Amino acid sequence: RSKGIDNLSNSEKVKDNMIFFSMYLLLFENMKENCISKLKSFFEDIQTINGKVKLVISDEYKKIENKKFNGKKNIFLATMNWFVENGAINQEEFETLINIRNDRNKISHELLKLLYNDCDEDMVKNFLKCIEIYKKIDNWWILNIEIPISGEYNFDEILEDQVISGNLLMISIVM
């Protein structure tokens, strides 16, 4: 019998791999949606139009979301590029996020093949890097956007390594 058949016939191994793959998708999709929505809401303007209060996307955000990568618009990459340009993450981490997104696509579209062949070590490393990068972006956002805008906190009292959003706290509990 081949290793692939053995992988598929071992219910514990399939279960463990399915848990890992689902956690990978959960983490990536949550990070993606969270980062995109934070940035979009940051650039929304409140305007009164015809007597009604509306949220209007700013021209600055439109420039971000219209940025092209390899000739195509990609809101995730455009958002992550904004985080690079503003010092939340570096270019190497941006490139890692591209690899993580490729892993996400592989899990979504080639799940049976992954279960057959087994998860490779690079995917596990990328999963751990995704956690690190997500925490780094989350921490940067709170310290550089949310806290300064709120005006409610004294920076001298904030311990940077202890800052975490409710969203990332929920993710860490699940994992």
pLDDT for 25-41, tens place per residue? 999 999 999 999 999 99
**Residue 48, Cα to own-chain centre: how many angstroms?**
33
pLDDT above 70 for 154: no
User: What pLDDT was estimated at residue 1?
Assistant: 63
User: What pLDDT was estimated at residue 81?
Assistant: 97
SS (H, E, C) the chain: CCHHHHHHHCHHHHHHHHHHHHHHHHHHHHHHHHHHHHHHHHCEEEEEECCEEEEEECHHHHHHHCCEECCEECHHHHHHHHHHHCCCCCHHHHHHHHHHHHHHHHHHHCHHHHHHHCCCHHHHHHHHHHHHHHHHHHHHHHHHHHHHHHCCCCHHHCCHHHCCCHHHHHHHHHC
Closest CA to 83 of 146, 143, 36: 36
End-to-end CA distance of the chain: 34
User: What pLDDT was estimated at residue 107?
Assistant: 95
User: What pLDDT was estimated at residue 159?
Assistant: 66
65/169: higher pLDDT:
65
User: What pLDDT was estimated at residue 11?
Assistant: 82
Contact 139, 160 (CB under 8 A): yes
Per residue in 117-142, pLDDT (tens digit) is 877 899 999 999 999 999 999 999 99
Per residue in 2-30, pLDDT (tens digit) is 777 876 777 888 898 899 999 999 999 99
pLDDT above 90 for 172: no
Q: What are phi and psi of 44, to 5 degrees?
A: -80, 140
Q: Nearest 10 degrees: CA dihedral of 91, 20, 23, 125?
A: -20
Per residue in 80-126, pLDDT (tens digit) is 999 999 999 999 999 999 999 999 999 999 988 888 887 789 999 99
User: What pLDDT was estimated at residue 156?
Assistant: 66
